[in-house]
Amino acid sequence: MRKRDRTPACPTPEGAIDRADPHRMTVMTRAPILAAALLALTACSGQSSGSGEAATVQVAGAICRPTPVGRQTTGCYLTLTAASDDRLASVASPDANIVQIHESRIESNMMMMRELREGLALPAGQAVALEPGGNHLMLLGVKEPLVAGDAVALTLTFASSPPLEVTATVGQPAAAEYDHATAPAAH
């Protein structure tokens, strides 16, 4: 148990302690006042921290394909625009066991997909489209079948920007010139 400080805070002219002095402030009365002042200054500072940080990456058009009957894998697409150079480092979803960032490309007339283990570069001010036939998100181990009209929660984690919570609708994305959903695929 800590001993109380017996040092007088406001001695009287005669050197005696006047504990009844209403102007005397103890640590117990100063701490809440200081905390309230700091909170007010933080709220007025214009800078935010923690989960209230302003997003420096904008997300548009988030959509995931319905899962084919008997499959637990599907693709999701969206467009990311970063205010400064950044990198989409990882993605998570409570609706799937694993979410990977993939790239697709045609090799020997076959659509080839591979995970981008280092993430996806987001050059400052440039819209980076994750779309059918190109870069996309791959949901693996989808926990419940996804049907048109459902919603999929995605948490996007970046190298520099704060994480973003995104809700993608389930539906068919706009048709691409070469769509990997209908093309032969190899991993």
Can you give the pLDDT at residue 77?
97
Query: What's the CA gap between 162 and 159, in Å, rounded?
Result: 8
More confident position, 83 or 178: 83
Asked if pLDDT for residue 126 goes beyond 50, the answer is: yes
Under the banding of pLDDT at 50, 70 and 90, the label for residue 178 is: very low
Can you give the pLDDT at residue 40?
37
Query: What's the CA gap between 67 and 23, in Å, rounded?
Result: 70
Does residue 174 contact residue 98 with C-beta atoms inside 8 Å? Answer: no
DSSP state at residue 180: T
Averaged confidence pLDDT in the chain: 77
Averaged pLDDT for residues 125-149: 96
**Per-residue pLDDT tens over the stretch 146-176:** 999 999 999 999 999 999 999 999 999 986 5
What stretches of the chain show up as alpha helix (H) in DSSP?
27-44
Can you give the pLDDT at residue 106?
85
Asked if pLDDT for residue 33 goes beyond 70, the answer is: no
Query: What's the CA gap between 32 and 91, in Å, rounded?
Result: 41
